[in-house]
Amino acid sequence: MVGWRVLLWVVIVLTILAFLYAVRGVLLPFVIAFALSAILDPIVRKLRLRGWSRPASVGAVMFIFVGALVALASWLGPVIGAQVGTLRTKVDEVATQVLTPRPEDNFFVRWNPVVQAQASESTNQIDTLFEEFSPTFEAGWLAGFTPGIRRQIR
């Protein structure tokens, strides 16, 4: 007896979900209209209780709401436009950097002696680090670890 009720609810929920999926392209304006009416209706009711007629209270609330939207858009419009312009410039710079081939990006070209002779300074961070600390590495490897290894071998 209970099984058919559960099956009925599953069928109803699946039917509603299929309907919502089918109308998903048209559903957004209706959801926005419902949300706006739920937000603005209490203001209209308060104006009605103060003696305003329904058309006058709806007109006043809509006028104030649209005016607030226009003010917000005129305030945020230039800011968003500037940010979009900056984003476009940055994307162009990154695309240019990515698409421009450099010899130091290719491992085989970078270790070519001819290319090394042409580039007197290495721009790679790892190469710069190795060049800067090479005396420390050589001293540590040859002086520090070799006697310890000899003691362990004996």
Whether the Cβ atoms of residue 109 and residue 115 lie closer than 8 Å to each other? yes
139 lies in a domain? yes
Give the pLDDT score at 134. 74
Residue 59 near residue 44, CB atoms below 8 Å: no
pLDDT the model gives residue 17: 94
Q: What is the mean pLDDT of residues 61-73?
A: 95
At residue 109's C-alpha, the angle toward residues 105 and 112, to 5°, is 140
Band of the pLDDT at 45, cuts 50, 70, 90? very high
Handedness of CA 51, 56, 59, 64 (dihedral sign): negative
Q: Is residue 123 part of a domain?
A: yes
Average pLDDT over residues 61-71: 96
| CA 132, 135, 141, 145 torsion-angle sign | negative
For the chain, percent of residues with pLDDT exceeding 70: 73
Assess if residue 25 is contained within a domain.
no
The answer to whether residue 47 sits within a structural domain is yes
Question: Mean pLDDT over residues 43-63, rounded?
Answer: 95
Q: Are residues 86 and 43 in the same domain?
A: yes
- Which residue segment(s) compose the domain that 153 sits in? 110-154
Task: Say what the pTM is.
Answer: 0.49
Could you tell me if 96 and 129 lie in one domain?
no
Q: Decide if 2 is inside a domain.
A: no
Average pLDDT of the chain is: 82
Residue-wise pLDDT for 108-135, tens only, equals 666 766 666 666 554 567 777 777 777 7
The larger pLDDT score, comparing residue 139 to residue 148, is at: 139
Give the amino acid at 119: A
Give yes or no for residue 15 having a pLDDT over 70: yes
Same domain, 120 and 79: no
| Length in residues, the chain | 154
Domain count, the chain: 2
Residues 92 and 119 in one domain: no
59 and 77: one domain?
yes
Task: Please check whether residues 41 and 95 belong to one and the same domain.
Answer: yes
- Average pLDDT of the segment spanning 13-41: 92
